[in-house]
Amino acid sequence: MNDNITKRNELLAQKVIKGLESRNMSGYYAASKEEALKKALELIDEGSSVTMGGAMSAHEIGLVEAVKNGNYNFIDRDAATDKRAAMLAAYDADVFLSSANAMTEDGVIVNIDGNSNRVSAIAQGPKKVLFIVGMNKICDDIDGAMKRARNVAAPINAQRFGLNTPCAKTGSCMNCKSPDTICCQFLITRFSRHEGRIHVILVNDNLGF
Ligand code: SF4
């Protein structure tokens, strides 16, 4: 990462972390993917049950691989034959790994979901939720974050999963009601009632979509 971008990201991350703290959530800045992985593993106790929603960023820093190979009980929804059982088990997990579709500079987290297992587990259930968020996901405000979620994250994800949505063809949101839409539920996480539940590692890199 270019030095000037790193300086800007570091300063911006401090603002986001203050915002998170004002919302009873915890934030951390990682200067690299390696630092992010180290911090994430510090936040996950050995022996914990760990699962995840769509979390490309957690893959990109090597966290999913580290958890699968470490001393944890990883609930692997992708490998499970009974997907519903794996999704229900996620609600009782010690740690839920997630990325965010977007965040605001003052610490609000925005996620959209089709199946909605990810947003529901972020909202309640797992004892700890650990977000891995590249600095490319930070937006000025809620409007910007929603626009990013629907015009950047959603079209790329729709293309990635081969979904038949207008955005997969045009590259931007057409506010569809397609059966394949991934915009079924929008979750805006603006405060946590539960001290120590939500943690966000902000990574000085472009992660996910
Ligand atoms: S509402 Fe439809 S067109 Fe818009 S981002 Fe979501 S899936 Fe794509």
Report the C-alpha gap between 58 and 77 in whole angstroms. 15
For residue 7, give Cα distances in angstroms to 103, 135, 183, 185: 19, 12, 34, 35
Contact 203, 133 (CB under 8 A): yes
Contact 172, 151 (CB under 8 A): yes
- In short, whether 158's Cβ falls inside 6 Å of ligand 1 is yes
The domain segmentation of the chain, as residue ranges, is 3-203
Coil, helix or strand for 72? Answer: coil
Question: Which residue has the least CA distance to atom 1 on ligand 1?
Answer: 175
- In short, whether 174's Cβ falls inside 6 Å of ligand 1 is yes
Report the C-alpha gap between 27 and 130 in whole angstroms. 10
20 CA distance to ligand 1 middle (Å): 28
188 CA distance to ligand 1 middle (Å): 17
Per-residue pLDDT, 1:
74
The pLDDT profile of the chain, 209 residues, written as one tens digit per residue, is 778 888 999 999 999 999 999 999 999 999 999 999 999 999 999 999 999 987 899 999 999 999 999 999 999 888 888 888 888 888 999 999 999 999 999 999 999 999 999 999 999 999 999 999 999 999 999 999 999 999 999 999 999 999 999 999 999 999 999 999 999 999 999 999 999 999 999 999 999 99
113 CA distance to ligand 1 middle (Å): 11
- In short, whether 182's Cβ falls inside 6 Å of ligand 1 is yes
Per the CATH hierarchy, to which homologous superfamily does domain 3-203 belong?
A: NagB/RpiA/CoA transferase-like (3.40.50.10420)
